[in-house]
Amino acid sequence: MAKSSAASSKRARSEHEPLRELKGKSEASHVPDLDKVIHERMRLAIVSALAATDTLGFNELKDLIGATDGNLSVHARKLEEARYITCTKSFEGRLPRTEYRLSPAGRQASCHYDNPHSTG
C-alpha cells in the first residue's frame, strides 16, 4: 500500500511541476511564461467569463463558473489586486449589487494567455 501511495504522491507532484521542467532543455526556451495570477483554474474562469461580456454581477459570475461565494470573493480579490478586474459595489434599493468588469490590463493578459506567441 505504501508503494502505491508513494507512486501516487510522486505522480501528483509531477503533474504540478512547471511545464518548462517537464520539457527537454532545448524545448524549454519555447515554452512561454504563464501568468501565475490568472493561471489558477478559478481565476482563469473569471477572466474568461468577463472577457466574453461587458460586466457580470456577483451571482451571475458565481453561477456561470460554479464557484462558492467565498471562492469567488477570494479569487476576484486577487485579480482586483493585480488590476485585471474592477469591482463596483452599489445598491439596488436596499440590496447590495457587486459587478465585475475586465480591466484593459486584464483583457491584455487574457489575450496573451489565449495566444502566448502574440507580441501585444
Same structural domain for residues 103 and 82?
yes
Same structural domain for residues 3 and 39?
no
Same structural domain for residues 24 and 70?
no
All residue ranges of the chain with pLDDT < 50 are 1, 8-9, 11-16, 19-20, 22-23, 26-28, 120
The one-letter amino acid at 1:
M
Same structural domain for residues 73 and 22?
no
- Measured between alpha carbons, how far is residue 10 from residues 3, 6, 18, 115 in Å? 11, 6, 14, 31
Same structural domain for residues 71 and 94?
yes
Buried/exposed code over 52-65 (b: 16+ C-beta within 10 A; e: otherwise): eeeebebeebbebb
The pLDDT score that the predictor gives to residue 29 is: 52
Write the pLDDT tens digit of every residue in 52-74.
Answer: 999 999 999 999 999 999 999 99
Q: Which domain holds residue 83?
A: 34-120
Question: How many Å apart are CA 44 and CA 37, to the nearest integer?
Answer: 9
Q: CA angle, corner 119, sides to 116 and 120, nearest 5?
A: 100
Q: Structure pTM?
A: 0.68
Same structural domain for residues 9 and 53?
no
Question: How many Å apart are CA 106 and CA 85, to the nearest integer?
Answer: 6
The pLDDT score that the predictor gives to residue 15 is: 47
- Measured between alpha carbons, how far is residue 40 from residues 5, 75, 120 in Å? 26, 9, 22
Same structural domain for residues 55 and 9?
no
Same structural domain for residues 8 and 40?
no
Question: How many Å apart are CA 52 and CA 16, to the nearest integer?
Answer: 28
DSSP annotation of 33 reads P
Question: How many Å apart are CA 76 and CA 48, to the nearest integer?
Answer: 13
CATH number at residue 84: 1.10.10.10
Same structural domain for residues 97 and 71?
yes
As for how many domains the chain has, the answer is: 2
